[in-house]
Structure formats: C-alpha cells, structure tokens
Amino acid sequence: MTSVVREPYGFVHADTSRLKEVYGGPSGQVFVECMRVRPVAGESKTVILFSHPIGGGSFLPLVSALAAAGRHVIYCNPRYRGNDTALIMEKCLLDLGACVADLKQRFGYGKVVLGGWSGGGSLSLFYQDQATQPTIDETPAGDYVGLHDAKLQPADGVLLLAAHLSRSVTMTEWLDPSIMDEARPFERDRGLNIYDPDCPAQPPYDAAFVARFREAQIARNRRITAWAKAELARLKASGGPDAERCFVVQGTMCDVRWTDPTQDPSDRKPYTCYLGDPKIANDGPVGLGRFTTLRSWLSQWSYDESRAHGERNAARVTCPALVVNNTADLACTPSHAARLFAALASADKEIVHIKDADHYYIERRDLLPKAVGAIGAWLDARGFV
C-alpha cells in the first residue's frame, strides 16, 4: 500500500430545468463537487468513478484502499449531496454525465469504470443504461430532463460493490406495512407490526406471513404513489406546472430480515440494521425517505414509477461488470447481489463474495485487502490499468 493524495475540485454545468431542488446558487447552472484520490506516484489511463445519489463517500474505506493500492479514483457528489429530500434520479444522471466529460478533459483519462457502491450501484446501472440507449426525456412527474440531448458518455465497465437493487425497491422492502393510513401513521395493524411484542406472527416467520407482509409493503408504496400523482395533478391544475408539495413518510425501516435471521440468510448480525436498532430507526429522523416531495417520491422511491431499477437497467447493460457481495452486509443482502448478477446482460460478468465483510468494511477492515485484490485482478484482466 502507498500513500494517497486527495485533490478536491468542482465544476459547473448548465441546467435548463425550470425547477430548482437545491439550496443556493444561480438558476441555469449546477455545481458538482468532486474528490480525486490517487497514489502519490504513478499515472493511470483508467479511473474508477464512484458516485451515489446523495454523495458523501470520498472517505469510504474502500475508496481510500483502492487508491492506496495504486488505482486512480474520483468521487462525484451530485447536486443533492447530503440531502435527498427533493432528489430526482434523472438529474443525478446529468451530473454524473457531466463529471465523466469533465474528468476526461481535465485529467485525460481514457477509460472510466463506474464504482457503484451501495446506492451508487443502481445509479451506475441507470447511468450506463441511459448513456448507451437513452429513452427518457421526462421525469415520472412529467418534467423535461432531456437525457437524449445530454449525450451521456457510456462507461467502459461497471463495479457493483455492496450494492442494493435500487432506492425504490429498497424503500418498498423496508416500508412498515402495518401503517394503513398515512394521515394516522401511529395507528398500526398489530397483525403486521413486527415490532409489536403482541404481534401474532413471531420469528421465524412462516412463508404465508412473509408473503402477506411483502404484499402489504408493495400495496402501501402504491397507495403513496397514487396519492402523490393525484396531488401533483391537482396542484399543477390550480397552481401552475411547477407547483410542489413536501410531506413526511413514517415507518421506513421495517423488514422481516432484521427480526428473523432465517430470511435471506447471511453472515450479518441479527436484530439490527445499518442504522442500529431497526425499531428506533423505523420512525427516527434519518430513516429512509423520511422527508420527501411529490416529484422526488415518484422519481426515487415509487415501486412502479421510478426508472432507476437495478434489474431492469442491468438487463440493458452489456459492458464488463463485477458484482461484489459482502456476506455480513446489514443493508444489501445476498439476494440483491444475486438478482443484479442474474439481470446483467453483459457476456463478461463475475460475482465475488467477501465472507464476513460488513457494508462499510468498518468492523472488518482486515478484509479490505481481499476486496481490493479481487477488484484489482478483475480490472487488470480487462486492461483497465
């Protein structure tokens, strides 16, 4: 391992949207903040480009370890860094595409491999899908976004590292199905409330209960989506095309996998989630999608409306791809890695399992060399040097 250099930089690119979802700055342009992390010595023709819908991962252990092993890495923070309240997935693609164009001109990299860690996995697949075969000109809310005109440059490879299927699928799998009325979120159906000690179903759950639980989660997501679409249509009709509404979603950290280790079994610690005690996180202020907007719900959280869907996007991705599954991951369980791998259309795809590794490699930093070695060997074998 060698010492690394961190080089923060940023750039501005044009944004023609009438709607502004980020705080500050002039209209008509967006500032994108990046960090280049590289070894002190040694050039590279290839860069690993990490990004995540809400950014903030330039100091992730894996990012630093890859750079220390001689790889050039750039972490791109989209416009929504640290705040996904009003996040639009399609606009994350515009920021990522602008970053690809900028890094080639600024640093002269010839090849770009997308580093899709966690929520960056589905973002990377969504990007590669639309960069190679653009189909989207409007967001699910009907606002112009113009991915055809953006001329996104495809990446040369994709890394899916401790990645989940998508924000919309993950949200649905974590929605508390015991909430039957969004206006009365704390009046819950005891028969579906796995955090209620008096819930009739207790772990290990039988298949019938799990099926009912999952169906109720999807039904709740669809109820919120139907309300969001109707409310947006009403607001547009009365207040103009740019009218918007913010709202709160309670109960977004509820999954049978956390209370029953036999569900999607792995090496993870039972009765916990990546935010700690899942019962507390379920209604806590940092729960997934706690604060959102009508447009953002449709773009990033809606089970049916979001276009950023790992499996559907992966089915249109044909570049070389590597899937890395951390077997003790509390957030991204083995079924997600398996489904992503199966969905990839690439003829050149591999999956690697890092046994006992947690989501962040914080509890098991000793496993970082194994992950870095597997990624490095895959990159070298394909000429990404």
Neighbours of 9 (CB within 10 A): 14
Residues 27 and 136 placed together within one structural domain of the fold: yes
Do 89 and 56 share a structural domain? yes
Domain-terminating residue out of 273, 301, 329: 301
| HSE-up (13 A, CA, CB side) for residue 372 | 21
pLDDT at residue 3, rounded to an integer? 87
Higher-confidence position of 3 and 305: 305
- The one-letter amino acid at 123: L
Q: Domain of 108?
A: 4-166+307-381
Residue 8 sits in the same domain as residue 89: yes
Q: Is the pLDDT of residue 27 over 90?
A: no
What total of structural domains would you count in the chain?
Answer: 2
Residue 41's CATH number: 3.40.50.1820
**Residue 49 shares a structural domain with residue 161:** yes
Asked whether residue 315 falls in the same domain as residue 208, the answer is: no
**What is the SS3 assignment for 113?**
strand
Per residue in 232-260, pLDDT (tens digit) is: 999 999 978 899 999 999 999 999 999 99
**Average pLDDT of every residue of the chain:** 95
Q: What is the mean pLDDT of residues 310-332?
A: 96
- Give me the sign of the Cα torsion angle 343, 100, 300, 61: positive
Residue with tokens 């639980």: 213
The answer to whether the beta carbons of residues 216 and 180 sit under 8 Å apart is no
CA distance 122 to 132: 15
Tell which residue, 97, 77, 79, 75, has the closest CA to residue 21.
Answer: 79
Instruction: Find all residues with CB under 8 Å of 236, minimum gap 6, and list them.
Output: 243
Q: How far apart are CA 47 and CA 110, in angstroms?
A: 8
Query: According to the model, what pLDDT value does residue 22 have?
Result: 85
Residue 98 shares a structural domain with residue 67: yes
pLDDT of residue 130: 98
Crossing angle between the packed helical segments 368-381 and 61-68, to the nearest 10 degrees? 60
Based on the fold, state whether residues 71 and 104 are members of the same structural domain.
yes
- 253 SS3 class: coil
Residue 351 has pLDDT above 80, yes or no: yes
Mean pLDDT of 58-68: 96
Q: What is the DSSP letter of 195?
A: T
pLDDT at 26 over 80: no
173-200: burial string, b at 16+ Cβ within 10 Å, e else: bbbbbbbeeeeebeebeebbbbbeeebe
Instruction: Please check whether residues 153 and 92 belong to one and the same domain.
Output: yes
User: 92: which residues sit within 8 A by CB, 6+ positions away?
Assistant: 51, 53, 78, 79, 80, 123
Residue-level pLDDT at 17? 82
**Following DSSP, what letter does each residue of 281-295 receive, concatenated?**
HTTSTTSTTSEEEHH
* Residue 187 shares a structural domain with residue 248: yes
pTM above 0.85, yes or no: yes
294 and 317 share one domain? no
Clarify whether residues 174 and 153 are in a common domain: no
Domain boundary among 267, 301, 335: 301
User: Does 201 have pLDDT greater than 70?
Assistant: yes
Looking at residue 114, its pLDDT comes to: 98
Whether residues 274 and 161 fall in one domain:
no
Q: Which of 332, 357, 45, 285 is nearest to 166 (CA)?
A: 332
State the distance between the two ends of the chain, measured CA to CA, in whole angstroms. Answer: 17
The predicted-structure confidence for 148-159, as pLDDT tens digits, reads as follows: 999 999 999 999
**Residue among 69, 87, 71, 70 at smallest CA distance from 79:** 87
CA distance 378 to 350: 9
**C-alpha 91: how far from its chain's center?**
14
Domain boundary among 250, 277, 301: 301
| CA-to-CA dists, residue 122 to 127, 170, 336, 344, angstroms | 8, 11, 11, 12
Q: How many CB atoms lie within 10 A of CB 122?
A: 33
Laid out side by side, the sheet with 73-77 consists of 4-14, 29-39, 73-77, 46-51, 111-117, 157-161, 321-326, 349-354
- Indicate if the pLDDT at residue 2 is higher than 80: no
pLDDT at 1 over 60: no
